[in-house]
Amino acid sequence: IAMENGRKLLPPLVESMQSFSKAAIIAHLIELGYSDEELCEQVEKSLKEMEDNPANNMYVITNKKLMYGASVILYTNVLPLLYEKHGPLYVIPSSTQELIAMPKGGVSPEEVLEIVKEVNGSDQVSDQEYLADSVYSYTFPLGLKQVL
């Protein structure tokens, strides 16, 4: 019952890192008081910088309220749907607020772990929201397995 209620009250949200970042950039710039013209210029600049970024293959997994979104890992349908679309995945418990998933293709678990450590070591993740410097592998039907 708790799982069913969780899905109803906090439905999952899966977005590309680029889309998720764009929304965050816009919200932050609005907070800072940028004009519409300045806002457009800054968003365009930020998106251009992201074009060749490996984050383009990453997905943010959270819930519609963007609160304690890492709990979405307990929803049995989210990772299988991503697997169906992209094949084997790396899953990164980036914070209590969200998970990050990315297709395995062409990236080693060690490279992913370096990204995790870099992000977790910066001011992007607070001590209260920090989960782990870990990388998991997801395949269907085997599920999640810690690789590093």
pLDDT interval class at 56 (50, 70, 90):
low
For residue 145, what are its two tokens? 């397995």
Distance of CA 138 to the CA centre of its chain: 15
pLDDT reading at 144 higher than 60: yes
Contact 62, 11 (CB under 8 A): no
CA distance 79 to 143: 9
Contact 44, 6 (CB under 8 A): no
pLDDT interval class at 51 (50, 70, 90):
low
pLDDT reading at 79 higher than 80: yes
Q: What is the pLDDT of residue 71?
A: 93
pTM: 0.79
